[in-house]
Amino acid sequence: MNWVAWKMLNGDRAKYMGAVFGVAFGTLLIAQQTSIFVGLMRRTANQILDVLQAEIWVMDPKVENADEIKPLAETDLYRVRGVEGVDWAVRLYKGQARVRVAGGNFRQVILMGLDDDSLVGAPILMKQGTISDLRITDGIIIDRAGYEYLWPGEEPRLGKIVDMNDRRAVVVGICESAAPFQTFPVLFTRYSRALEYVPPERNRLSFVLAQPKPGYSTQQVCDAIEEKTDLLALSRGQFMWRTVGYFMRTTGIPINFGITVALGFVVGTAIAGQTFYLFILENLRQFGALKAMGLSNGRLVVMVLIQAMVVGLVGFGIGMGMTATFFEATKNITNLRGMHVPWWVALGTAGAITVIIFFASLLSIRRVIVLEPAVVFRG
Amino acid sequence: MIASAAVAVSCRQVVKDFGDGDSRLRVLHGIDLDVLEGEMTLLVGPSGCGKTTLISIIADLLDPTAGEIDLFGTRQSRLPRTKRIQFRARHIGFVFQQYNLLPALTAHENVAVPLLINGWRRSQALEKAHLLINEVGLESRARNFPSQLSGGQQQRVAIARALVHGPKLLVCDEPTAALDATTGQVVMELIRRVAVQPGRAVIVVTHDSRVFSFGDRIARMDDGRIVDVQEVEPALAAPHEPRS
Ligand SMILES: Nc1ncnc2c1ncn2[C@@H]1O[C@H](COP(=O)(O)OP(=O)(O)OP(=O)(O)O)[C@@H](O)[C@H]1O
Ligand SMILES: [Mg+2]
C-alpha cells in the first residue's frame, strides 16, 4: 500500500508541488538565514580564529570582545612568560587605524601588529608577497577584500602606498583573511611599527598570545596564568565564544534573524500544512474507499505519513539545494565571502522541517482516522 | 436449488438510529432478512427508505443500534476490531454508485488494490488483477487511468476490483444509477455472469426496475422496513436476459 500512497501523491501533482514548495521555502528561509546569522556572528571572532599559531589569548579581565580592548601593561608580557607551562608568549596589537590613500581619502582599518621576531598571528594564506616581507621597514600586508575596498576596481598589486598617522606604509603582501564583522580592511604589520601607525597611548599591548609547553593542556596553562597574573587567559575557542556571546547579548542581530527564521518556520508550516491538508481532504473519498475495503487505520496513517515524508524529503532537498546555490553564487561577493551552511545548521533545519511535516500531517491524520468508511456509499 | 442454499447473511431485528436526543431519527425499524449464497438479492425501495444504511450495516461499515447480523455464521459484533476489519478485507467486495476508483492508478492497478490490502506482493497482485481485467473485457484499457474511461468502463473496473480477492459477499449500491440504460444492462449482466457463484452472496441495491429481472430474489423496503421478499420467476432470471 506504500506504493499506492506514492502513486496517489504523484497523481495530484499540483498539491504535491504546492506542499513541496512550502517545505522548500521554509527550508530556504531557515537554512539560509541561520547560516548568514552564524556567519555574521562568527565574523565578530574571525580575527581570533585566524590566529592559528597560538592557543592562548591573555587579556585584561574587563575585555568582553575582540574589538573593545583594554590594553595590558608591558610588564604583563613578562609575567605571562614566567608562568609554569608557558612555552612562549608574544605581543599582539589589535586596534583600529585610519589610513589615507592617494587622493586624500581616509578609511578606517583593522590594524594587527605582530610580534617583531616571530610574526605570530600572520595571515595563513598569501595571495601575493610573503609574510617575511613584513620585515621591510614600511611593509604592511593587506587582505584582498580590504584592497578592493581601498582601491576599488584596481587589479591587486604590490607597492601601493598609504599613510597612517602621517607615516608611510607600503603594501608588500596581499593575503586572504576571514571577513571581519565590520567590513574594514585588515592590515598586518610588525608590533613595533604598528605603534607608530596609531596615536600614542600609555599602554598599547592589546593581547599576549601564548602557547602551552608540550605536555601541558591549554586549560591547565590558562588556569595557571589567571592564578599568577590576575589576567584573563582564554583558549582560542573560549575567546571566540566570549566575543560571540557579547554580540549576541548586546546587538539586535539575533532577534532579527530569529524573527526571520521563525517566520520561515511558520510560513513553511502554513504553506506545507495547508496544501498537504487540502491534498488529504481531496483524497478523503479514496481513503474512505480503502477503509471500506478493509484497510486498517494504522496502515492508512502509515500511507499519510509516507506521503508527508516524501513531501518533506523532496522539499528539504530542493530548499537545501537553493540555499547551497545561493551561497555558491555569492561566494565571490566580497561582503558575503566565507558564508556557508555549517553541517549542524543543515541538521537543525532538517529537524525543523521534521516538526513542520509533523504538524502538517497531524490534522490530516486525524481526518483519516475519524473518517467513516460508510461515506463511500454517499453520492 | 434456491431453497436448499445456505444463508450467507442473516439480519435479525436490525434497528438503526441516527443522531440523538430530539434530532434522533430511526432509519431502520427492526429489519429481518436472509440473503442466500449463490444468489443475487436485489434490495429495492423508494429513496430514503434505508437501503444504503442497511447494506452498510451488513457490510460492517456501520454499527446497528440494535439487532444481530451474522455473516456466514459469524456474528461480527462479537469479533475484536482487527478481526472485523480483516474479515471485511478478505471476504467482502464493494461496488459503489460513484465507482470510487483511485484516479492516480491505472485500471489494472486499481483492480489489484484489495489484494494489496490483503498483504499480497505487488507483482502477484498485479498478475491476478490482470485475469480479472480480462474477465470484465477491458484488456485493451488496462493501462488507462479512470479519467480516460467511460462510466460503464469504470464500473466494470470496479466490478473486477470487487471480485479480485474472491469475496464471499459482494455488496453493490446502485451500480447502474450513474449509467445510461444500455450500459446499466451491460453492467448488470456482467455482475450476473462473473459475480454470482456458489458460495458467494450478491446484494445489489437498485432503483432501476429495468434491471429487476437480473436478480434471483427481490427484497422490497419501505420506510425502514422490509415489506416483502419475492423470488424472481426462474423463467425471467434463468437466461439472465432482461425482459424488455
Ligand atoms: N449518517 C447519517 N446521519 C443522519 N441521517 C442519515 C445518515 N445516513 C442516512 N441518514 C438518513 O437515513 C435515511 C435513509 O438513508 P439511506 O441513505 O439509507 O437511504 P436510501 O434508501 O439508500 O436512499 P437512496 O435511494 O436515495 O440512496 C435518510 O433519511 C437519510 O437522510
Ligand atoms: Mg442509497
In a domain, A17, yes or no: yes
Model confidence pLDDT, tens digit, residues B121-158: 999 999 999 999 999 999 999 999 999 999 999 999 99
* Whether the predicted pLDDT of B238 surpasses 50: no
Residue A63 lies in a domain: no
Quick check: A289 and B96 CB within 8 A? yes
Distance separating alpha carbons of residues A210 and A81, to the nearest angstrom? 8
Nearest CA to ligand 1 atom 14: B50
A97-145 pLDDT tens trace: 999 887 778 889 999 999 999 999 999 899 999 999 998 889 999 999 9
Let me know if residue A290 belongs to a domain: yes
Asked whether residue A256 falls in the same domain as residue A226, the answer is: no
Give the containing element (helix H, strand E) for A279. Answer: helix A253-282
Both A181 and A263 in one domain: the answer is no
The pLDDT value given to residue B19: 87
Residues A274 and A350 in one domain: yes
Q: Does the C-beta of B176 come closer than 6 Å to ligand 1?
A: no
% residues pLDDT > 90 (chain B)? 75
Query: Domain count of chain A?
Result: 2
In a domain, A193, yes or no: yes
Asked if A294 and B85 come within 8 Å (Cβ–Cβ), the reply is: yes
3-class SS letters over B58-123: HCCCCCCCEEEEEECCEEHHHCCHHHHHHHHHHHEEEECCCCCCCCCCCHHHHHHHHHHHCCCCHH
- Residue B56 clears pLDDT 70, i.e. is over it: yes
Global confidence as pTM: 0.79
Residues A205 and A79 reside in one and the same domain: yes
**Does the beta carbon of B18 lie inside 6 Å of ligand 1?**
yes
- The alpha-carbon gap from B6 to the nearest alpha carbon of chain A, in Å, equals 25
Mean pLDDT within A223-237: 94
Of the three residues A197, A230, A263, the one that is the final residue of a domain is: A230
The predicted structure's pLDDT at residue A4? 93
pLDDT averaged over every residue in chain A: 90
Domain match, A78 and A224 both: yes
Q: Name the residue of chain A whose CA is nearest to B114's CA.
A: A293
Q: Tell whether A9 and A107 lie within a shared domain.
A: no
A79 plus A225 within the same structural domain: yes
Domain's final residue, options A179, A195, A230: A230
Q: A283, A377, A378: which to substitute to probe chain B, counting the most B Cβ within 10 Å?
A: A377
- Which ligand has an atom closest to residue B96 CA? 2
Q: Above 50 in pLDDT, residue B184?
A: yes
| Long-range Cβ contacts of A270-273 (<8 Å, 24+ apart) | A270/A22, A271/A18, A271/A19, A271/A21, A271/A22, A271/A25, A271/A26, A272/A19, A272/A22, A272/A23, A272/A26, A272/A311, A272/A312, A272/A315, A272/A356, A272/A357, A272/A360, A273/A22, A273/A356, A273/A359, A273/A360, A273/A363
pLDDT level of residue B4 (50, 70, 90 thresholds): low
Whether A330 is in a domain gets the answer yes
∠A21-A26-A31 over CA atoms, to 5°?
125
Closest residue of A to B110, CA-based? A4
In a shared domain, residues A206 and A116: yes
User: ipTM of this predicted complex?
Assistant: 0.90
* pLDDT digit string, tens, across residues A8-23: 988 888 888 888 988 8
For residue A64, being part of any structural domain is answered with no
pLDDT-based confidence at residue A6 (cuts at 50, 70, 90)? very high
Tell me what pLDDT residue A128 has. Answer: 92
Is residue A357 scored above 90 in pLDDT? no
| Other residues' Cβ atoms within 10 Å of the Cβ of residue A290 | 28
Q: How confident is the model at residue B7 (pLDDT cuts 50, 70, 90)?
A: very high
What is the pLDDT confidence band of residue B236, given thresholds at 50, 70 and 90?
A: low
| Ligand closest to the CA atom of residue B27 | 1
Q: Which three cell numbers stand for residue A120?
A: 605570530
Q: How confident is the model at residue A330 (pLDDT cuts 50, 70, 90)?
A: confident
Same domain, A99 and A224: yes
The closest alpha carbon to A156, from A164, A167, A165, A146, belongs to A146
Same domain, A103 and A172: yes
Q: Identify whether A56 is part of a domain.
A: no
Domain hosting A277: range is 2-43+252-377
Is the per-residue pLDDT at B77 higher than 90? no
Together in a domain, A283 and A134: no
- Provide, rounded to the nearest whole percent, the portion of chain B with pLDDT above 70: 93
Who wins on pLDDT, B140 or A273?
Answer: B140
The answer to whether residue B243 scores a pLDDT higher than 60 is no
Q: How confident is the model at residue B103 (pLDDT cuts 50, 70, 90)?
A: very high
A222: which 3 cell numbers?
A: 590558562
Highest mean pLDDT among A151-160, A334-343, B159-168: B159-168
Check pocket membership of B97 for ligand 1, CB cut-off 6 A: no
pLDDT tops 50 at residue A199: yes
Q: How many Cβ atoms are within 10 Å of A22's Cβ, its own excluded? A: 25
In B, which residues are within 8 Å of A307 by CB distance? none
Residue A119 lies in a domain: yes
Q: Are A32 and A121 in the same domain?
A: no
The model's confidence at residue B220, banded by pLDDT at 50, 70 and 90, is very high
Domains and CATH numbers, chain B: 7-18+25-235 (3.40.50.300)
pLDDT at residue B1, as a whole number: 44
Ligand 1 pocket, residue B16 CB under 6 Å: no
**Alpha-carbon gap: B166 to the closest alpha carbon of chain A (Å):** 13
